[in-house]
Structure formats: C-alpha cells, structure tokens
C-alpha cells in the first residue's frame, strides 16, 4: 500500500499522505485489513514534528500485523470508502 507511493521505511508522512494511501487501497485489500485497521487505531505520530507525521516503517509493520487476521476478510460488504473518510475526518 505505502510502497506504491514510493516512500522509504525511514521517511515520515503526514496524516493527509497516510489518508491518501488508504484511499488508494483496493476495496478487496481494505476489506481484508479493515478489522485490524480500525480496531487497533492508528500508530502514534512522531512528536518531534509540529504537524503530526507518521514513520513509514512503523505504518508498514502495523499493516503487516493485520495481515494475519483472515477472519477480517469475511466481514460484511459495506461502503468502505465512506467509513474510511469518516475515520480520517474525526482527526
């Protein structure tokens, strides 16, 4: 997901860049990870930056941990893009 946007593991991305990564996910990929993504919340941003920035390597590990939950792929089909926008608009 994040690798498609050519970020290296040692870079930091903003919340809006992270949201763009999620919005570019296919619905199938999003459905597979949805339970993990929303149950565990976003990783903590790095506090050294005035604007919240996320370490790409940490985000990749966070997403990889969700790949071991095959039951999340069996979730009911909903309009996931609306749910995703709602999740990020709360910040």
Question: Which of 1-5, 11-15, 67-71 has the highest mean predicted lDDT (pLDDT)?
Answer: 11-15
Take residue 63 and report the two structure tokens written for it: 């997403």
User: pLDDT value at position 76?
Assistant: 39
Exposure class string for 10-47: b at 16+ Cβ within 10 A, else e:
eebbeeebbbebbeebeeeebbbbbbbbeeeebeebee
- What average pLDDT score do residues 3-19 get? 74
Residue 90: exposure state from Cβ atoms within 10 A (0-12, 13-18, ≥19): exposed
Whether the predicted pLDDT of 50 surpasses 60 = yes
Give the H/E segment covering residue 33. helix 27-39
Residue spans of the domains in the chain: they are 3-74
Grade residue 85 by pLDDT with cuts at 50, 70 and 90. Answer: low
- What average pLDDT score do residues 4-23 get? 75
User: pLDDT value at position 45?
Assistant: 65
Grade residue 31 by pLDDT with cuts at 50, 70 and 90. Answer: confident
């Amino acid at each position: 997901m994040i690798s498609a946007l050519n970020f290296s593991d040692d870079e930091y991305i903003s919340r809006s860049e992270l949201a763009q990564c999620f919005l570019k996910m296919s619905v199938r990929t999003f459905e597979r990870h949805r339970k993990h993504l929303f149950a565990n919340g976003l990783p903590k941003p790095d506090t050294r930056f005035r604007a919240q920035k996320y370490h790409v390597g940490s985000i990749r590990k966070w997403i990889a941990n969700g790949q071991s939950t095959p039951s999340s792929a069996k979730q009911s089909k909903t309009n996931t893009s609306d749910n995703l926008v709602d999740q990020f608009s709360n910040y």
